[in-house]
Amino acid sequence: MPSQMNSSKILPTERLSISKWYSAKRCAISLRFDDNLDSHVNLVIPQLNKYDIKATFMINPGRNNFIISYKRHQEFWEKQVPVMGHRLGNHTWNHKGAKNLEEAEYEIGEVSELLWNLYPNENKLNVFASGGGETWGGRRWHKASFQYKQLAEKFFLIDLYSGEHKRIELNSNFAQKDWNFMIDDSIENGTHQAFVFHKIGDKSSIDFLKEFITGYNNCFSSNKFLDFLADLESKKDKIWIAPLIDILKYEREYKSSELQFISNSDSELEYVLNVNTDLSLYDHPLSLVYSIVNTEKHIKVFQNETELEISKIFENCRVINVQPKSSSIFIKFT
Ligand SMILES: [Zn+2]
């Protein structure tokens, strides 16, 4: 870490760098909850709010039966959840796949239209997950024809089942040491660990029956969930916990950007930041890390003409969040 170096020896070319994760955290962790379940409303969201953790909820607005009903908490999902800072993701309208392209356009497009309305200050980019086990024109999503995949593009969706997005679904078969191992591994290796959940709570007789038939356990007990949150909280100074869309934006921006040293003088350092993502979709601020040298009492940082806020993370280390766009970065000594 920059704080451990003798910062006066750091060359100007190396003093500023782009942080792999936002706010110079060591790794990223996302929490995703599928299927707008009652336990998300009654237990998950109040607990997340206590810890100020923002998560992603994959919803099916058309799914309304005795067990799963979006309508039962429609007001909560649409009015309260966006204001709390959680993100809703596109999990299709009915969670039933589609027989043909016309049906698919409805299943995918209607949810996107709804979410664009619910988040008027966000751009159109969002995450998409096909319902598990559903078919699209007779094939599972990962094998569906390209016209179906094109629909995801049409609605500015990042396909979580494209094969590029690893994730772990936590259920009651996992023990505390298992998730701590995954969290620590993510911190150690600077990766994004995506956790997925379905029901939080004890298994009902229907859940037991479902597991008996399908072999699939999608319940994680509420006690384990509370332990999981407490474990995250204890390590949160090292972890960027954020909604999936924020992490995926940042990851893409980071991979498409580079910082180039231009010049240094007694009064300033100049760098050029090149970013190859489209700012109208990839708009998450990028974090730059600056190592202060011993002689610098105060600095000001500018992105083109705009002065930026500076936050101190260690004695000799500052973090500056910039817009993810190609621009000049000036560090001015005052
Ligand atoms: Zn689902």
Please report, in tens digits, the pLDDT of each residue of the chain (334 residues total). Answer: 444 455 557 788 889 999 999 999 999 999 999 999 999 999 999 999 999 999 999 999 999 998 899 999 999 999 999 999 999 999 999 999 999 999 999 999 999 999 999 999 999 999 999 987 789 999 999 999 999 999 999 999 999 999 999 999 999 999 999 999 999 999 999 999 999 999 999 878 877 777 778 777 789 999 999 999 999 999 999 999 999 999 999 999 999 999 999 999 989 999 999 999 999 999 999 999 999 887 777 899 999 999 999 998 878 899 999 999 999 999 999 8
Ligand 1 centroid, distance to 270 Cα (angstroms): 49
Are 169 and 196 in contact by the 8 Å Cβ rule? The answer is yes
Tell whether the torsion through CA atoms of 182, 232, 311 and 317 is positive or negative.
negative
Cα of 91 vs centre of ligand 1, distance in Å, is 7
Q: How many whole angstroms from 233 Cα to the centroid of ligand 1?
A: 27
92 Cα: distance to centroid of ligand 1 (angstroms): 9
Burial profile 302-327: b = 16 or more Cβ within 10 angstroms, e = fewer: bbeeeebebeebbebbbbbbbbbbeb
Separation of 191 CA from ligand 1 center, angstroms? Answer: 25
Q: What is the pTM of this model?
A: 0.94
CA 307 to ligand 1 center in whole angstroms: 45
State in Å: Cα 46 to ligand 1 middle: 22
CA of 40 relative to ligand 1 center, distance in Å: 13
- Give distance in angstroms: CA of 43 to centre of ligand 1: 19
- Å from CA of 95 to ligand 1 middle: 7
Structure tokens at 103: 């049906």
Cα of 35 vs centre of ligand 1, distance in Å, is 5
Residue with tokens 């909280």: 233
Distance 105 CA to ligand 1 centre (A): 18
